[in-house]
Chain A
């Protein structure tokens, strides 16, 4: 029983929505914004509230888990996330280079 579903690609969350969905306090989020871990897609003005992209939600949940499970303080969480991002990027680069060099096909002959 499969139905065709309409999807959202462009959407964003307010601070309150993000806080509810990630199960963290707005203060927690604002501190991560201060640390540069999360970046609002829309900066708050007098008439418009702060908005975040969906990517922020994934990042925020990872931050929450690191904070909760490993007792990392927020500056530490910020550094972890940066390093994780870098590791991910390096891994994909290594994979690309291996693929381009044909590492998987050719073994050196002795």
Chain B
């Protein structure tokens, strides 16, 4: 198993005072807190941090850990083996346990301090299982969907890891695949509950539920703003000048849109009722983007020269003072 250098994880020296350890933990906890952090491995780093702090903040556990370090109970390649007959005096599993989520601690931690004390494990091992009931944990998942799927509804196969406590009181994960039918018109951020699909209960108690939070996956064509759908629509300068009819994709199929004569760059056209449902019915907003070919024929250049002559009085840069 991998040796964990708790001092290194917390970024402190071996001689660090309790105060220094606390200070460093708090700083790093803020940096890596999964609810706040932008760091890639925030969740894993935060768990490691919690484990390191769990040991180093407690003088008894810290002393034991220091003793192990001195005994050199790990080989040079980073693999750790506790000395034969090693037993922790602090007996982590026997209670006196803090607020942290114990199931997150590593094998390394458990090899030194014993298995952590979730209710399942304590009761399982203490032979007091009789009559003990506990509802299974809820499981929360995010479910990224494409805009079209959110709009029209979709059947999705999802796989979740369900934590289960076996007969020896050990925690194991089981993969479960479910077919879920997502109805049309869900809003991003909305939750779906799958009753009884969470972790199984203990002692015949109910299973927990599985919650799915709808999330939007990025879309190549459409953007979303509230219930409105935004789309950039490229048009040519002559289409803008003369007006025309163009075909525009929407979530509910292609529609014909009239570009008014004299349209301008960035002008917005609203397609009523072509947005997302839910609360207030959204619209689709078409944003015109003037698009120019990168090369022109000689004839076209001549026409542009004529146009330049004709439109001489228009200076698009007059607000820049040039």
A interface list, Cβ under 8 A from B: 1-9, 11, 20-21, 53-55, 57-58, 61-62, 65-66, 68-71, 80, 84, 93, 95-96, 99-100, 102
Indicate if the CB atoms of B157 and A2 lie closer than 8 Å: yes
B223 contacts chain A at the CB level, 8 A cutoff? yes
- What is the CA–CA distance of A73 and B123 in the complex, to the nearest angstrom? 33
B4 contacts chain A at the CB level, 8 A cutoff? no
Shortest beta-carbon distance, B41 to chain A, in Å? 16
Q: What residue in chain B is nearest A93 (Cβ atoms)?
A: B225
Given A9-B183, A9-B192, A66-B33; A102-B232 close (CB under 8 Å): yes
Q: How many A-B residue pairs have CB under 8 A?
A: 83
Q: List 20 A-B contacts (CB under 8 A).
A: A1-B177, A2-B178, A2-B179, A4-B181, A5-B194, A7-B182, A7-B193, A8-B192, A9-B190, A54-B191, A58-B140, A58-B191, A65-B33, A65-B34, A66-B33, A66-B36, A70-B29, A80-B36, A84-B35, A100-B232
Shortest beta-carbon distance, B212 to chain A, in Å? 8
Indicate if the CB atoms of A96 and B225 lie closer than 8 Å: yes
B275 contacts chain A at the CB level, 8 A cutoff? no
- What is the CA–CA distance of A58 and B182 in the complex, to the nearest angstrom? 20
Could you say which of A7, A58, A61 contacts B180, with CB atoms under 8 Å apart? Answer: A7
* CB-CB contacts below 8 Å: B68-117 with A: 99
Shortest beta-carbon distance, B275 to chain A, in Å? 14
Indicate if the CB atoms of A68 and B33 lie closer than 8 Å: no
Chain A CB count within 10 A is highest, among B26, B35, B287, for B35
Indicate if the CB atoms of A69 and B181 lie closer than 8 Å: no
B218 contacts chain A at the CB level, 8 A cutoff? yes
How many chain B residues have a CB neighbour from A under 8 Å?
39
- What is the CA–CA distance of A58 and B194 in the complex, to the nearest angstrom? 15
Shortest beta-carbon distance, B266 to chain A, in Å? 10
- What is the CA–CA distance of A8 and B191 in the complex, to the nearest angstrom? 9
Indicate if the CB atoms of B157 and A55 lie closer than 8 Å: no
- What is the CA–CA distance of A87 and B194 in the complex, to the nearest angstrom? 30
- What is the CA–CA distance of A61 and B137 in the complex, to the nearest angstrom? 13
* A residues in contact with B140, CB < 8 Å: 58, 61
* B residues in contact with A1, CB < 8 Å: 177
* B residues in contact with A20, CB < 8 Å: 135
* CB-CB contacts below 8 Å: B117-153 with A: 135, 138, 140
- What is the CA–CA distance of A5 and B181 in the complex, to the nearest angstrom? 7
Given A70-B26, A71-B26, A102-B232; A7-B194 close (CB under 8 Å): yes
* B residues in contact with A100, CB < 8 Å: 223, 230, 232, 287
Shortest beta-carbon distance, B113 to chain A, in Å? 20
- What is the CA–CA distance of A66 and B182 in the complex, to the nearest angstrom? 31
* B residues in contact with A21, CB < 8 Å: 138
Given A65-B35, A96-B223, A96-B230; A3-B178 close (CB under 8 Å): yes
